Structure 1
Amino acid sequence: MASTKPGQRKLQILQALAAMLEQPKGEKITTAALAARLGVSEAALYRHFASKAQMFEGLIEFIESSVFGLINQISEREANGVEQARAIMQMLLAFAANNPGMTRVLIGDALVNEDERLQLRMNQFYDKVELACKQSLRVAVTQGHGNEADVTARASLLVSYVVGRWHRYAKSGFRQNPTEGTSLQLALMLAA
């Protein structure tokens, strides 16, 4: 790791942390274990991150930039509000399937016993996802699908569904793919 650039080292640390989070048993991750995995001292970790909380913040930033970048692409590409909402939900489920370690951050599992601001930040993430879903559903209402009175409840239901699928995926040791069987389920939740 000595010959890499500082930005690359930070990325390596975050990648190692995410890989450790992929362990199905979900044991608490220590900086000593992370340093050992990378073959460096704990002090080397702290040259790039002031705390373990900052390392988790780096993972959360990755999640936020990835997810909200994809939501923006879906919103720009898909004019139909119902299809926007469906695509956003499917993307969220696929993101978890493709990033099992990040799923433990998404559900807050990895944040237990860490700085409480991390869970607050994930709660804000859920709120923003729900807001994006509401926007898609409001577009759908203007297109004659559903009614405005149901938008908030439907958006909340959809986000709760996704979070439940994430939990089930993580608790199954990443064996139960969160995307399996979702087409019909989403169709039922999005039906007018």
Structure 2
Amino acid sequence: MASTKPGERKLQILQTLAAMLENPKGEKITTAALAARLEVSEAALYRHFASKAQMFEGLIEFIESSVFGLINQISEQQTDGLLQAQAIAQMLLNFAEKNPGMTRVLTGDALVNEDERLQLRMNQLAERLEMAFRQSLRLAASQGNFPENEAAARASLLCSFILGRWLRFAKTGFKYLPGDQAQLQIAILLR
């Protein structure tokens, strides 16, 4: 494993951390357990990350760049505000379903005993998601789908729905998939 390049090792650490978070029992992840899984010393982990919090920050950065990159694509490609909001909601549920370990980060479940700034960052992510829904729903209102003064309330409701589906997925040990019947439920929320 000594031939692994620094950037590759960093990615491997983050991928292993995400995989460990997929454990439905949600045990606390230690750097010792992470190092053992990677078959390296803890010191080797600290050559790439100054702390476990920094490892979680790496996962959060991946989540943010992936999710907001996809939201930007959807916003550019879809000019209908309602369809844009539906596509964003479906993408967020699909992202969680494909990345169960990261869903535990999204819900804050994996961050309970970690540095509080990590949870603050996830709270900011949720606010940014609501803002993205608000933009789509303001567009939908301007297109005559509902009164303008409903856009913010609908965005909040849609964001709460997404967070709730993520939480249910994580808290049930990934038993209840976030996307189950979601298309119909999202359509009901946006009527």
TM interval, shorter chain, is: over 0.9
Structure 1 partner of 2:87 = 87
Q: Please give the alpha-carbon distance, in whole angstroms, between the structure 2 residues aligned to 1:2 and 1:117.
A: 33
Listed as ranges, the matches of 1:132-143 within 5 Å are 132-143=132-143
Unaligned runs of 5+ in 2: none
Q: Percent identity?
A: 72
Structure 1 partner of 2:118 = 118
Query: Could you state the TM-score of these two structures normalised by the residue count of structure 2?
Result: 0.99
What is the one-letter code of the residue matched to 1:144? G
String of CA shifts for 1:14-47, please: whole Å, max 9, x gaps: 0000000000000000000000000000000000
Q: Please give the alpha-carbon distance, in whole angstroms, between the structure 2 residues aligned to 1:176 and 1:189.
A: 20
Runs of 4+ in 1 over 3 A off after TM superposition: none
Structure 2 partner of 1:166 = 166
Unaligned runs of 5+ in 1: none
Structure 1 partner of 2:103 = 103
How far off its partner does 1:5 sit?
0.4
Q: Please give the alpha-carbon distance, in whole angstroms, between the structure 2 residues aligned to 1:41 and 1:169.
A: 33
Structure 1 partner of 2:183 = 183
How much is the aligned-residue C-alpha RMSD, in angstroms? 0.5
Structure 2 partner of 1:55 = 55
Task: Report the number of matched residues.
Answer: 191
How far off its partner does 1:135 sit?
0.3
What is the one-letter code of the residue matched to 1:92? L
Query: Could you state the TM-score of these two structures normalised by the residue count of structure 1?
Result: 0.98
Q: Please give the alpha-carbon distance, in whole angstroms, between the structure 2 residues aligned to 1:67 and 1:116.
A: 22
String of CA shifts for 1:85-117, please: whole Å, max 9, x gaps: 000000000000000000000000000010000
